[in-house]
Amino acid sequence: MTFLTNRVARLLFAIPFGIFGIIQLMNADSVVGMVPEFIPGGIVWVYLTGLAMLAASFAIVSQRQVRLASLLLAVMLLVFVFTVHLPAVLDGDPNAMPNLLKDTSLAGGALLLAGIYWDWDEPLLEESL
C-alpha cells in the first residue's frame, strides 16, 4: 500500500506539473494574456512560471528538495488564485471558478506533500557529505 500512497501518488501529483510547464513554455504567446495587466513583465512571468513548474516536478519526482519545491509550488498556485482566477470570478467569467478551485486544491496538495517531507527531505544530501 505504501507503494501506491507514496510513489504513485507523488508521481500523479508531480508529472502533470512537468507537462504544464512544457506546454506553457511552448505556448508562451497564447498564455501571456493570462498575466494580469497590473503585473509588469508579461511574457517573462510565463517563462518563469513554466520553468518553476518543471523544476518543482523534477524535484518531487527525484525526491530532492521536495519540501522546498512543494512550498514554492503552493505559493505560486495561490498567487495564481488571487491574481488571475479570483479577479476573473469576480468579473463573472464562467470558466474561472473551476480554475480557481483546481489551483486552490493543488496548492493544498503541495502543502500536504511539504508537510509529509518536513522531517526527512534531505537524507541524500547528508549522505553525500
Residues 18-47: what's their mean pLDDT? Answer: 91
Residue 128 has pLDDT above 60, yes or no: no
Better-scored residue on pLDDT, 52 or 7: 52
Quickly state the pLDDT bin for 119 (edges 50, 70, 90). low
- Asked, for residue 58, whether it belongs to a domain, the answer is yes
Contact 22, 54 (CB under 8 A): yes
Is 114 domain-assigned?
A: yes
Q: Is the pLDDT of residue 60 over 90?
A: yes
pLDDT reported for residue 129: 35
In a domain, 125, yes or no: no
Asked, for residue 127, whether it belongs to a domain, the answer is no
Taking residues 104-116, report their average pLDDT.
94
In a domain, 97, yes or no: yes
Residue 126 within a domain? no
Work out the average pLDDT over 80-107. Answer: 95
Cβ 36 vs Cβ 83: under 8 Å: yes
User: Distance between CA atoms of 24 and 14, rounded to whole angstroms?
Assistant: 16
pLDDT at 127: 41
Which residues form the domain of 23?
2-120
Confidence of residue 3 (pLDDT cuts 50, 70, 90): confident
Q: What is the average pLDDT across 93-98? A: 93
Is 75 part of a structural domain of the chain?
yes
The number of distinct structural domains making up the chain is: 1
How far apart CA 13 and CA 124 sit, in angstroms, is 22
Question: What mean pLDDT, rounded, does the chain reach?
Answer: 88
Pair 30, 81: CB distance under 8 Å: no
Residue 128 located in a structural domain: no
